[in-house]
Structure 1
Amino acid sequence: MEMQLPAKEDLYGGVVVEMKENMDPDVFHALLKTSKLQWKLQGKKGVWIKLPINLVNLVETAIKEGFWYHHAEPKFLMLADWLPETTSTLPGNATHIARVGAIVLNDKQEILVVQEKLGGKTEVWKISTGILKQGEDIHVGVVREVKEETGIDTEFVEVRAFSQEHDVFFGKSEVLFLCMMRPLSFDIQIQETEIKAAKVLTNVIAHRQGHLQFRFYYGGGFAMASGGSTAIIGSQSGSPQGFPWAAKKIKLPEFHGFDPQGWIKKAELYFDIHGAPLHL
């Protein structure tokens, strides 16, 4: 019987152990202690142990030998250890979530908006937003999100703006990419599980809520984005002339509570004080 855990060298002077077969915790403990001694003698640095969900009984043994949780996926847990007597240089777990927001604008300068069923802003009209899947490109994910939420087929035009928020989801940060989209179909069919309603809205102003990153002027309406949620508030009447954009950075007090109209009034006053025009 081999007295060392099977391991593959990585590109950074460490080793990766991918456990697959069932093993008694006592046997695993003995092999792990022997393996760590050998790896130290060989000058190895980081050690990774990938444990599938059916070998969860080995986690406690590894933790007692100095390993820590690095990250988890639905079917496995990744443990890590740093062997040298120096500060670990192992990369941390993923720090950011990537979210997309879709500004779906048709030839009539009308924008597609939705109301969500869940969350703290279920009465607010907003653009379609969603989290990118693993390995999914921005231009692919934003098309998918609009289709899932509204049934509308769209064409990606460009990323018009992006923003960053911290401590959004279990301590993780989030990057939101606002994408200009062109509709290819017009028959709205909402996603019943998540979306309460969807419609076309006109006369919209969009800006970042809390820390204002971009102000998008469009007629006389108003829109706000906080964290991963971009909310839209505006008029459904009128015929806007074009879609002028501006990018003026202004730091605003963060929005608290569920009174967007009240916050809007404060924001407009703030714009007046700082000389930011309401029309371009």
Structure 2
Amino acid sequence: MSGVATFEGQPDRYRGVVVDVLKETVLQTTHDFEELLRASLDKWSADGVRGVWFRVDIGHSEFVPILVKHQFVYHHARREFVMLVRWLPREESDQIPPYAHTMIGVGGMVISEADDQVLVVREKYYTQPHWKLPGGFVEPGEDLAAAAVREVLEETGVRAEFDSLLAFRHVHGAAHGCSDLYFICLMRPVSRDISMCTRELAACRWMPIAEYASHADVHALNKHFITKYLEFREHRAAMRLEPMHIPGFGRVQNVFSLTVGGGGT
């Protein structure tokens, strides 16, 4: 293969190669793509490369049919790019992991202890009217606590602080066929004035906890969560957040652990 131009790519720790079309200086014109691909596949196979990943930005989407022609398949996509992949070894089963298959959501249980009220919202678009906790999806790279603070503020205008993790729900077959994790975050209000997001919500109010626990328009799951809050409060128990620096890991790990007898909401 000496003297034959190939894609540069970046090796990964699994003896794979990741090619980002935008970073390939060897690619001068779109007409070069298939020729470079053929030569690269020959070289990668000879070198024992296992998985080949191609990140194709939306501005070069004309490369996708060529990759598919050469046995690449879709792995995942974002608004700005699509990632295709091909497993090369014929003697090994495909070891490429699936794309992330679980969505993460948060609900903010904002409790005003002074008058025993909880902040609740009613969605603007629904199949059945109900009172629920403000919340939404966690953004990429966002911590659970930060997501809860942001969602409560965006939906209700109420500023709140994260206290602890109360519970979470796990379900399969949610949106887009993904699994879904929904974390209930116990929070303390810093402000009480409501400035509701009318784009998403039809109503927002502070509701007495006793009323919420028995309201006909509160789903059984949310009644379960408020019951668990009352139990936790009685026993002064909470799932506290402790950011941990693990030597050799390189990233902060947010650990939630059950504590009893501590302070908080």
Unaligned runs of 5+ in 1: 207-217, 235-241, 247-280
Structure 2 vs 1, CA of residues 134 and 152 (structure 1 numbering), >3 Å: closer, same or farther?
Answer: same
- Runs of 4+ with deviation above 3 angstroms: 21-26, 203-206, 220-223
* Residues 18-39 of structure 1: CA deviation (Å, up to 9, x unaligned): 1126765542111111101110
Flag the 1:13–1:225 CA change in 2: closer, same or farther, 3 A.
farther
| Count of matched residue pairs | 222
Secondary structure of 1:193 counterpart: coil
Aligned to 2:35: 30
Kindly indicate which of the two structures has a greater share of residues assigned to helix: 2
> For residue 147 of structure 1, what is the amino acid of its counterpart?
L
What is the deviation of 1:2? 5.3
Distance, in Å, in 1 between the alignment partners of 2:183 and 2:211 is 17
| Corresponding residue SS for 2:63 | helix
1:137 aligns with 2:151: no
Which deviations, in whole Å up to 9, do the C-alpha atoms of 1:151-194 show, x marking residues without a partner? 00001011110111111111111100011111110100001211
Any idea what the Cα deviations from partners look like across 1:191-229, whole Å, max 9, x if unmatched? 1211111001124488xxxxxxxxxxx5x4464267xxx
> Which residue, out of 151, 160, 163, partners 1:157?
163
CA distance in 2, matches of 1:231, 1:149: 21
Query: TM-score with structure 1 length normalisation?
Result: 0.73
Partner residue, 1:192: 198
1:113 maps onto 2:120 in alignment: yes
Contact 2:130 2:219 in 1 (8 A): no
Q: 8 Å contact 2:157–2:196 — kept in the other structure? A: yes
**2:49 corresponds to:** 44
Identity %: 32
2:184 alignment counterpart? 178
What residue in structure 2 maps to residue 73 of structure 1? 78
2:109 pairs, out of 100, 103, 109, with 103
- Separation in 2, partners of 1:158, 1:13: 42
Could you say what the CA RMSD is over the residues aligned between the two structures, in angstroms? 2.4
Deviations 1:62-97 (A, max 9, x none): 001010111111111111110011211111111100
Report the counterpart of residue 15 of structure 2 in structure 1: 13
State the match for 1:211 in structure 2.
none
Tell me which amino acid in the other structure corresponds to 2:185: C
Change (3 A) 1:73 1:231: farther
